[in-house]
């Protein structure tokens, strides 16, 4: 069995987040799941794509319009320049928890919120002609801000679009997320 990857660690942590939310289920619990794609704009990088999944929990002991969102996100970006034998790859697997305020609405609902996340970032560079062959991994925590609009919140299926900023030092990211929602 090989070394666990950041994605497999992220999946295990997401499962632990969902299991640890068991006390909240008694007072409200799981109200939906979101699957999303992201266009990621990382500082000093061109845009690229990512994926994510999150649960949506509501606890009746809190305000009626507040939801909690345990989230797993992943993206990978690679570039190569064949003429120089250069290849660079960067990955980020993120485990996060956000809270959001859902504004009133019938057909669509605006929302805003924030949270925090842990980013497992990996960088690899290979350029044998220049004597470069290395990798670097780091784990960073940071805050997140989000805002968006959810459509079809009263039906079984819906969708959403949002902007989410990850504030993690020199690795700041802006994500434009779009996805599908399953509502309980």
pLDDT of residue 25: 39
**Mean predicted confidence (pLDDT) in 125-152:** 90
Handedness of CA 19, 24, 28, 34 (dihedral sign): negative
pLDDT of residue 23: 46
CATH number of 6-18+32-183: 2.40.160.20
Alpha-carbon gap, residue 113 to 67, rounded angstroms: 9
CA–chain centroid gap for 55, Å, is 11
Quick check: 27 pLDDT over 90?
no
Residue 165 token pair: 């900023």
Residue 10 token pair: 């992220």
**Mean predicted confidence (pLDDT) in 74-89:** 88
Residue 101 token pair: 């305020």
pLDDT of residue 2: 46
Please state, for a pLDDT cut of 90, what percent of the chain lies above it: 59
CA–chain centroid gap for 138, Å, is 17
**Mean predicted confidence (pLDDT) in 33-47:** 90
Bridge-partner residues for 164, per DSSP? 146, 175
Residue 46 token pair: 């061109």
């Amino acid at each position: 069995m090989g070394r666990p990857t950041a994605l497999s660690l992220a999946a295990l942590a997401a499962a632990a987040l969902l299991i640890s939310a068991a006390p909240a289920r008694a007072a409200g619990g799981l109200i939906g799941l979101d699957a999303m794609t992201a266009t990621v704009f990382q500082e000093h990088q061109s845009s690229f794509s990512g994926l994510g999944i999150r649960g949506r929990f509501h606890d009746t002991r809190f305000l009626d319009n507040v939801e909690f969102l345990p989230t797993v996100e992943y993206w990978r970006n690679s570039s190569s320049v064949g003429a120089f034998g250069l290849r660079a790859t960067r990955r980020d697997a993120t485990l996060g928890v956000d809270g959001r305020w859902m504004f009133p609405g019938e057909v669509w609902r605006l929302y805003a919120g924030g949270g925090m996340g842990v980013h497992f970032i990996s960088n690899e560079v290979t350029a044998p002609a220049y004597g470069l062959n290395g990798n670097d991994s780091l784990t960073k925590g940071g805050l997140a801000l989000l805002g968006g609009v959810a459509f079809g919140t009263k039906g079984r299926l819906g969708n959403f679009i949002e902007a989410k900023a990850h504030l993690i030092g020199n690795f700041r990211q802006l994500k434009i997320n779009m996805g599908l929602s399953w509502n309980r």
